[in-house]
Amino acid sequence: MKDDKTETIKYSKALVSTLEQKLKVGNLRAIHLNTVPGNSRSRLDIAQLNSLQNNLSGAFIEELTTKQQFDFNIGSSYQHLEEDEIERELLNEKVFRKLKNIHIDYKTDYQDHGVNSLGFGYPMLVFRNPKVNKQVICAPLFIWRVDLNKDPQSLSNWQITKNEEHAVLINAQLRSFIESEFDGLKLPPISEEMLADGIIDKDEILEVVNTTLSILGTTQLDTIGKLTTLSDKKTLDKITEKGKPWISWSGVLGIYKAQRESIISDLKEVQDNYEEFDMDYQGMTYQKYTTSSITVDPSQERLIHLLGTEKKLIIQGPPGTGKSQSLTAILTNALENNAKCLVVCEKKTALEVLKSNLSKLGLGHLCAVIDDVNKDRKYIVDVIREIVDGKTDVASTTVNTTNYKSIRNKYEKVKENLRTKYKNATINVLGDYTWKDAVAETLTNYSDSDRAIVQKMGVKNELYFTEQEFEELTTFIEDAEYLYKKVADLDGPITQLDKSLFAQKYTQAARLKIISFIEEMNKTINSLEKSFDEAEQKYEVDFYEKGVSNNWLIYLKSIFSSRLKLMRITTKELQSQMFSFASEFDQIIESDQNDYLFIHYDLIRAYLKECSNTINSLNLNIVNYKEYHDWKHFRLSIEKEHANKLVEILITTEVQNWSATFKYWYFNALLIHVEGQIDGEQNQDNQLLHQIETLTEEIKREQAKFIIQQHGEYIKKALLGKTKQELKLLFNYRKNKAHGAKTSLRKILAKEFDLFTAFFPITMVNPVVCSSILPMQAELYDVVIFDEASQMRLEDAFAAMLRGKHKIISGDVHQMPPSSYFSKGGDVLLEDDDDSDSLLTFAKNSAFKFSYLDFHYRSQHPHLIDFSNAAFYGARLIPMPNVENYSPITLHQVDGNYKDRSNADEASHILEYIKTLEEDFRGNYPSVGVATFNMEQRNVIWDHIYKECEYSALFNKKMQRLTTDGFFIKNLENIQGDERDIILLSTTFGKNKEGVFRQLFGQLNNVEKGYKLLNVIVTRAKKEMHVFTSFPSEVYSRYAQEIATSGNNGKAILYAYIAYARACSNGREEERIQILDTLKDHASEGIKSVIKSEDKHLFERELYTFITSIYPKNQIEVNYKLGGFYIDFVLKDTNGIPVIALECDGKPYHTSNESYRYDLHREGILAQHGIVTYRIWSTNWWQDVEGELKKLTHFIASKQEQLTTVLP
């Protein structure tokens, strides 16, 4: 699948010139420049009526040129020719078939656009293009608007009608073409007086004919010629000479779409005054308040918020996402902000939806929908004259404006407060850790930590709360715990080893040093004990009593006693050895020995015994030396005091789980620190949510009243200084002394634009009417809005776009591009192409801000939208949950024959299905639409229905009711924008009579447009989709191989949809999911859903542990899917029915400005399905886990009756 053209289109004078030229030349196949019926199925040469009755066509021309209103009957009562019966029947059948086709096209176009496009063109100007000699132009000078009506029970009774609302038009496209191709020639305008009475008589026709021929340099005519059959193209080419235009007195009934001469004029003015026009408005935004009285979802509210900053905005609205609701919300917001709005759309039905939405609010009178400048003028004039003439007062209402403004201000403040609180739960507080993640860490370590010790630890001012610090401290504590717990139970001499031994990392040499020390110490102790034993034996009791004494008396006696003197010398030597031993011993093992222990023999003996025991004990624990060395070295290596204190506290308080206690302490300290740094707080209850909900309802209730009163004051101000007489002369019902005819809307708006927009601050028009009535002035409106922009040609919309300061383009890049079907008279084959860029494409490539609508409402079952969602929208759309369990898509494998571009078997099956439709319990039929892949199949289905109507009065009555409720049969090019309860899709193509299935699907095979056509068709159903197909199952079953080759477009995506319909129809869920996964893998848009199915975050995982402690695990579902929503936890009753939804804060969408709206929107949808929401605010669970658990337990207990289960 490919995106729209990606070339950047820049606003320039050359661009405007190119757009003007496109409109001037037009499409040479269009009916306005090429009226020859030929084999056209929906153009009737009026002369063919003579097959029904002699000179019937002449009678029609007489009615046309003499009466403003008439009903002209065509039918079997006129069949009185005296020709061969078979030949007459064939001629009549051809006429009636063309009338039927014209009627279908005309009614279809009217359903889409709300504008009468049926016309009769007469007479024909025929000439060769002076610049392209081989081109012969055959175009009507005049076009009369008419209606065509059919007898419901007969295909041979028709009526062409005309009334005073049906205008007579000059073929403006012909005029533009002549001025473009005949250099220097300019046709004079037709006087308004000639057109004003709705009648162009034969003299007036002749006058215009001769004026035209004279300017083109051709002989004028004396009289109007006799009505003749229009020659075919080949004959016209043969008889038309270069430079000799001529008149063919022929007339053609067909689809004549609105002409665009007024747009051409606007684009010319833009070129002439190029410097006055700019795509980028430089002024201030009109928006001061973000209020709207329309219920909106988060993505719709985002649009209103964006208008405060964005002046060029694209609303990317996939099918069924509430584009009309969004635009209505924007309009009500604009009205409150005193903005003038221009809404432009090709389809009147879309404009009427907006008008209807405003009317439901009581604001419809502020909106002017103008699609017919003559017919709708009356409404405009009536409204203004009613007030000017004093027949009615300016609309007003009772509203306390002071109170409303107070509500509005509070609404804005509460929204801002909520945004801050929501975002604070999602801010990063430590690397990738959000506030909520930090809370989750406290829950993770809640049970395993020693929380009493944590309270004593306090918050250390030395902490910086950085990623590096946390990583280092976490590793430090983990290492410390690991090392300490290996030696925690060690005691005795190994713990007395001197700390200098541990200054370096453990090595084998360090261990051998201790072993050597043990050996040396044992030897020394043995030697010392032996020396003391020998001295004791030698000196006996004197040594024990006197030898080791430092008594001064013994010292004096030794002067006179050689024995004592020798004993004293021995004693000195032993003392020296003892001090040397003690010094060496103390270098390794810390002891409490003092010098005094060497003055008493018994103390020496005890000391040596103690040292011996210490050495022996150390020798026994030498196997733990490495662990102890590692631990002591680790402690000595700690540089930061707070880290050392942490370890000391953890050791002295005998904490069991150091890591859990540390993390619990650290993240608590982190949260306390951040709490003091952030702007605002976190959500800790539902108070503000309830406030915003209440304020929203108050605004919805009061805003319309405020707007009405506000605009009533504007109207009164606008009327100041204007006399009643001058307004009556301008807004006149008939011609007067100031105006020779009824003043046109164009003149009214040129003179009194501000007064007009005071009455009607919202103007709704199509592009042609926009240029026909509005001054071509830059930034005329505060905002211009385009709906269905993907189908609007840039050349049609460009002038209207320049009239707005703010520009809003609403459409869908994955839906239909501009279609030329009806502009070419209803005769475009599916293979035809159109090279026009859409307005949406231009905006997309011109730096407009994209904003997506994310929630899908149309489909009452997710399966109806899942296909397109996966294939084209990156699974971004969030469908609403289905209320009923049923199969919404049914495949009817017809296997009919494809002949003459149609499939009669599929048509028969569709007719039979329609016959089976039954009324519901209220006595209503579902709304039904039929979609086909080409016009021929559409007509064949109508044929089947018409015949059944003639045969069965009961079925005819049913069809009348279905038609009243909007029944249609449309081909894929003009079904966009429609929706019905039930859509019947005829895929049309099948095997031919030779049994060959030719895979030639016209534009469905187009890599740029094909998937868009399919996307439009398969997203029209609200309740049910029925696919009637003759595609061989073996062909569409190979969708996966086709998609792997071609992606999600062309025949590959078509095959995939039929396979998807089969999977849905047969209830094969695994196959359905497989198809969707294949589509997602090849979608051009990546997965972009704002509400995702994902593994639970840390907080939810930890919360689950607490929830399962108070509620049965088998009645808890995590990440519960409801429609397109994923709920954190759902508590089910004993029957497995969801009753309570537990929703946590800190989601990705809570970072948006619409965070609160996401929660309220979800809560509302859950409530519709009988599920009550309980909100989990992470901050509360940090501050008081036990308290929050009790609250949750109490809430669950309060729903005990619904849950019908016993709490454990």
Residue 416 domain-assigned (yes or no) = no
Among the listed residues 798, 774, 929, 824, the one whose alpha carbon sits nearest the alpha carbon of residue 342:
774
pLDDT in tens, 816-871: 888 654 344 443 333 444 556 889 999 998 889 999 999 999 999 999 999 999 99
Backbone angles phi, psi at 698, to 5 degrees: -65, -40
Per-position DSSP letters for 980-1007, written without gaps between them: EEEEEEE------TTS------GGGG-T
Residue 616 has pLDDT above 50, yes or no: yes
CA 436/CA 1099 separation, integer angstroms: 7
Q: Which of 199-208, 459-468, 990-999 has the lowest mean pLDDT?
A: 459-468
Alpha helix (H) ranges present in 978-1124?
A: 1010-1017, 1033-1036, 1039-1046, 1050-1065, 1069-1081, 1098-1108
User: Can you give the pLDDT at residue 729?
Assistant: 86
CA dist., res. 88 & res. 8, Å (int): 59
Q: What is the mean pLDDT of residues 401-420?
A: 94
Tell me what percent of the residues of the chain surpass a pLDDT of 90: 61
For all residues of the chain together, what is the average pLDDT?
88
Q: Are residues 132 and 153 in the same domain?
A: yes
Alpha-carbon torsion 124, 126, 132, 134, what sign? positive
Q: What is the CATH number of the domain that holds 1118?
A: 3.40.960.10
> Do 696 and 667 share a domain, yes or no?
no
**Please, are residues 166 and 198 in contact by the beta-carbon 8 Å criterion?**
yes
The confidence score (pLDDT) of residue 547 equals 47
Q: Across residues 222-229, what is the average pLDDT?
A: 93
Shared domain check, 224 and 209:
yes
- The domain of 117 spans 32-255
**pLDDT over 70 at 1206, yes or no:** no
Q: Tell me, yes or no, whether 696 and 750 share the same domain.
A: yes
Report helix, strand and coil shares of the chain as percent, to nearest 5.
50, 15, 35
Give the tokens for residue 619.
């020798």
Q: What is the pLDDT of residues 22-37, one digit of tens each?
A: 887 666 678 999 999 9
What total number of domains does the chain contain?
6
Query: Tens of pLDDT along 717-744?
Result: 999 988 888 888 888 887 655 555 678 8
Domain annotation covers residue 269: no
State whether 735 and 791 are in the same domain. yes
pLDDT grade for 259, boundaries at 50, 70 and 90: confident
Residues 232, 106 share a domain = yes
Mark whether 576 and 659 lie in a shared domain.
no
Among 1051, 1081, 1111, identify where a domain stops: 1081
Does some domain include residue 408? no
Residues 522 and 554 in one domain: yes
Q: At what angle do helices 375-388 and 687-719 cross, to 10 degrees?
A: 80
- Domain boundary residue among 1023, 1052, 1081? 1081
The candidate with the shortest Cα–Cα distance to 762, out of 743, 783, 747, is 783
Residues 827 and 896 in one domain: no
Asked, for residue 146, whether it belongs to a domain, the answer is: yes
927 Rama class: left (phi>0) / alpha (psi -120 to 50) / beta: beta
Mean pLDDT for 1057-1061 is: 97
The pLDDT, as a whole number, for residue 396 is 78
Question: Has residue 263 been placed in a domain?
Answer: no
Phi, psi of 136 (to 5 degrees): -110, 125
pLDDT at 3 over 50: no
Closest CA relative to residue 1153, chosen from 314, 412, 329: 412
* Rounded-to-integer distance, Cα 1158 and Cα 1171, Å: 16
Nearest to 1 by CA among 1052, 1007, 1043, 844: 1007
Mark whether 969 and 1045 lie in a shared domain: yes
Q: Is 198 left (phi over 0), alpha (psi -120 to 50) or beta?
A: left
Of 823, 838, 853, the position where a domain reaches its end is 853
CATH number at residue 742: 3.40.50.300
Examine residue 421 and state whether it is found in any structural domain, yes or no: no
Q: How much is the pLDDT for 479? A: 94
Section 308-335 average pLDDT: 96
Top-confidence range, 16-20, 293-297, 568-572: 293-297
Tokens of 731: 């807004």
Q: Which residues of 986-1024 are buried (b: 16+ CB within 10 A; e: fewer)?
A: bbbbbbeeeeeeeeebbbbbbebbbbbbbbbbbbbbbbb
Number of Cβ within a 10 Å radius of residue 129: 17
**Same-domain status, 583 and 613:** yes
CB 872 within 8 Å of CB 1011: yes
Do 44 and 112 lie in one domain? The reply is yes
DSSP of 68-97: SSEEEEEEGGG----S-HHHHHHHHHHHHH
- The answer to whether position 410 is within a domain reads no
- Per-residue pLDDT of 79-133, as tens digits, reads 444 555 677 677 788 888 899 899 988 888 887 777 788 999 999 999 999 988 8
Phi, psi of 583 (to 5 degrees): -65, -45
Q: Which of 21, 263, 270, 261 is nearest to 779 (CA)?
A: 270
> How high is the pLDDT of residue 852?
96
Distance CA 874, CA 852 (A): 12
Task: With a cut of 70, say whether residue 139 has pLDDT above it.
Answer: yes
Q: CB–CB of 434/427 below 8 Å?
A: yes
* 25 in a structural domain: no
Task: Give 596's pLDDT tier (boundaries 50, 70, 90).
Answer: very low
pLDDT at 77 over 60: no
pLDDT at 84: 55
Q: How confident is the model at residue 1 (pLDDT cuts 50, 70, 90)?
A: very low
557 vs 494: CA distance, rounded Å: 46
Neighbour tally for 557: CB within 10 Å = 15
Entry pTM: 0.85
pLDDT at 614 over 70: yes
575-to-207, 242, 559 alpha-carbon distances in Å: 149, 142, 20
